[in-house]
Structures are given as C-alpha cells and as structure tokens.
Amino acid sequence: MNKDCQGPSGSLLECYWEPTESLLKGYWKPTGSLLEAYRRAAGSLREACWKPTGGLLEAYRRPAGSLPEACWKPTGGLLEAYRRPAGSLPEACWKPTGGLLEVFEKPAGSLQEGCWKPTGGLLEAYRRPAGSLPEACWKPTGGLLEVFEKPAGSLQEGCWKPTGGLLEAYRRPAGSLPEDCWKPTGGLLEAYRRPAGSLPEDCWKPTGGLLEAYRRPAGSLPEAC
C-alpha cells in the first residue's frame, strides 16, 4: 500500500493511500477517518484533491485529467454537488439530471455563452443548447427566482432586459434580427416582439399591467420611439 501524507504535520486526515489492484486504482482516500472522505483522481493535480464541505460524506471531486477550474462545488444539502465531465472545456457547465444528487452539466463542445448559472434556491438553472447562435438567450424554465443571461458576443439589442419585480426579463429568439422584438405571450413574464423587417418607427408600446416597458432597437433612426 503506497502512502503519501500530503497535508501539514502529517495528520491522519491529510494522509492518503492509493489502491493498487481495484476499480478505484489511482484514487485517494483518507487513512484516519471513518466518514469524511477525500479522494484524488488518477493523474489529477494536487489542487484537485477532495475537500470536505461539512456534514457526513460531502466531498468535492475533480475528474482525472480535468483542469483545476473543473472542481466540484457544493450546492447545499447532504450530497448535492456540481460536476464537470472529464475532458470538457473550462466553460462547460451543468444541467440538472434529477434525483437527490442533482448536478449540472453542459455538453462537451458547447459554447461558453451557453453555460448554466444557478438562480437561487437549491439547484435551479438555465441552459442554452450547444451550438445555438450567440444571440440566443436564456428562457425561463419555471421556479421562484428565475434569472436570465445575455450570452457573450450576442448583440446588444437582442439581449435580456429586466422589467421589474425580482429577476423577470425579456428574451430574443436565436437568429432573430436586431429589429425583431417581442410581442406579449401572456402569463407573468409577458414580453413584446417587433416583426423582423419592420421599419425603425415601429417601436415598443405598453399594453397595460405591471411589467410595462418600452424599448427602441439598437441602430434605429432618431425618429424611432
């Protein structure tokens, strides 16, 4: 059994061992702890070691070969965590899978602007499909603290804009033109749309209600409202 005490003063909880013949070959566990578990993936760097988060068996793991920024992050609860698949790019994020140990994942190769971001609560989040255009924005999935994000590189006029309340906002469909705005859809997060190709003087106007808002598309002429 190959021991390697990596922690200060050689404390038991800082001392790790690596099995030689098992499915867990290359992974690390503590030698002096019953419940708290540390593990390091084979070939991962020292900073990718497991760290306790609190509770009984909570821990962080970094997949073998993944970069330092791909480490696990706790979300709350007992065993909830975020994971980034081994070999995925730094900007790869998470989507929920369901169940008790929910995690977020972004498919490998998807663009940075499509990353997941938690909104609050336990594990709520939004995803932008891999390969969608930069101007494709987030849409709400439901929940209390819905939040929206403007993807990196998207055009200014096609972004989300808060209208009031907590985190309510508007979205511009992927691939729509700058002058393509919103029309009301009903419900809580009502928005407005201006048909693509409409003239600059075709501006936003309120329809009534709580979340009234005006917007003038970027690049429209001075006479545009």
Give long-range contacts, CB 8 A cutoff, 24+ apart: 44-50: 46/6, 47/71, 49/6, 49/16
What are φ and ψ of residue 70, in 5° steps? -95, 15
In degrees, rounded to 5, the angle at the alpha carbon of residue 176 between the alpha carbons of residues 170 and 179 is 80
User: So what's the pLDDT on residue 95?
Assistant: 39
Task: Report yes or no: 137 and 183 within 8 Å, Cβ to Cβ.
Answer: no
Q: Mapping DSSP to helix (H, G, I), strand (E, B) and coil, where does residue 4 land? A: strand
- Other Cβ atoms within 10 Å of 162 Cβ, number: 14
Residues present in the chain in total: 225
The residue that leads in pLDDT, 39 or 77, is: 39
Count CA atoms closer than 13 A to 195's CA, side-chain side: 3
- 202 — pLDDT class (breaks 50, 70, 90): very low
Residue 125: both structure tokens together = 């989040």
Q: Mapping DSSP to helix (H, G, I), strand (E, B) and coil, where does residue 47 land? A: helix
Query: pLDDT digits over 128-171, tens only?
Result: 333 332 323 334 333 322 334 433 333 333 334 433 332 233 44
User: Region 46-60: what's the mean pLDDT?
Assistant: 34
| Cα distance between residue 201 and residue 169, in whole Å | 23
Query: pLDDT digits over 114-131, tens only?
Result: 343 333 322 233 333 333
- 77 — pLDDT class (breaks 50, 70, 90): very low
- Other Cβ atoms within 10 Å of 186 Cβ, number: 6
User: So what's the pLDDT on residue 16?
Assistant: 36
Chain Cα centroid distance, residue 72:
13
- 220 — pLDDT class (breaks 50, 70, 90): very low
